[in-house]
Amino acid sequence: MERFDVVVVGAGSGLNIVDSAARHGFKVALVEEGPMGGTCLNRGCIPSKMLIHSADVAEAVRSAGKFGIKTGRFSVDFGRIVSGVSSLVDRDARDIEEGILEDRNITLFRARGRFVGKKQLKVGSHVITGERFFVLAGTRPMIPGIPGLEGSGFITSDGALRLKRLPKSLTIIGGGYIAAELAHFFGALGSRVTIIQREELLVPNEDREVAEAFTDAFRKRYSVLLGYSAESVSRKGNIFSVTASHGKLKRTLKSEQLLVAVGRVPNSDLLDVAAGGIKVNERGYIITDDYLETSVKGVWAAGDIAGKYLFKHSANLESQYAYGNALNQSSKVKVDYYAMPHAIFSSPQVAGVGAREQDLKKGSYGVGKYMYSGTGMGAALKDTGSFVKILVEKGANKILGCHIIGPDASTLIHEVVVAMRCGSGAIGSITGAVHVHPALSEVVQRAANNVSFK
């Protein structure tokens, strides 16, 4: 059995721990079947947002007419778009691996590991152990048990980012943020998109008012079946057929490609964490305490596999806490998740932080809402449906949450995040700040100035 000071499973946010441990002079084992960089770099946020930017550009060109600009016809070189992003991502993954191999303090085990005992991991022909274990092995796309789906040739978000040809038509099963982003990507570039969503709204985890506005916007562009469940899948030649039902209503949808985006599942089963004595919850996510230590002393879990927040930025935050707590067990620090933001890079964009209105007790809060169109830049954008919504605690004037739908929502939300997490947290942090006129950020300030209590 090979012994290490630190064992890290997963080369996504786990690389933060690998780098810190190696710089401290520890003997480090990194277990990753590859490629380096994890889901975010290879199959998630980095390639998807690069690809989505092309969709944003295509959408801007198509809408140029409303600004008095004639563009004529244009075409999309889909293969070039995808190959360019894939080449960049693959190069970054190779560069990371080369850096790891050059570090004498790091041993890379380029294979999937499985626990065979407490703090014992079998990797290929090796069994390794360590004083400190960190499990950051992420999640993978969930595959529902729909009859006919298996073996049909459907794609998940993994394959969608590597397609070589733009499908003329695409059916998406699922209506969360991954489905929303990929619908925008394919739809803006020219695919005819149909979304099958079993819930009554798209992106149902958002503030309800935002989810309603988002659903309305998507229904104007795509065929959206709300309250429908996919019952069966078949394929004849190059055409998929999906039968979906809503009560007694049934629809059969045909398309060149089928994308399944119904959520993600943790990779704890692939690691056989139970054999290592590591407990999981009913959904398979590793159970940790407030300091990210698992049921096995000396083993920490962080990132998506721990199931707190499934964001890259939260995984990075957790990796810092996990490593710090492992090194300083006499002065451990609870993870501070306060004001954890998120964003959906679709069109329209969505971003949020803190409480949603449906989470709050009636009468305990006020709402400040302002439409983009009421600002100079919003008017310049000819935007009619976007808004900022701020929720404020009654009496204390403390910001409870903020939700934005519209252009640059993913950027605008940060003013509120900083006010909540690093400032006083009071609404005055925003209303009292001087905002550039006529920058789009004025819409945040005006929403803050518009708070009313019922």
What residues are annotated to the active site?
437
- DSSP class of residue 382? T
What does the H/E/C string look like for 77-144?
A: CHHHHHHHHHHHHHHHHHHHHHHHHHCCCEEEECCCEEEEECCEEEECCEEEEEEEEEECCCEEECCC
Residue 331: Cβ within 10 Å count: 8
Among 73, 89, 91, residue whose Cα is nearest residue 81? 89
**Quick one: CA dihedral 280, 281, 287, 289, positive or negative?**
negative
Phi, psi of 53 (to 5 degrees): -60, -35
Tokens of 30: 């990194």
Report d(CA 177, CA 184) in Å as an integer: 11
Residue 437: Cβ within 10 Å count: 11
- The 3-state DSSP class for residue 242 equals strand
Among 229, 227, 228, 51, residue whose Cα is nearest residue 147? 229
- The 3-state DSSP class for residue 21 equals helix
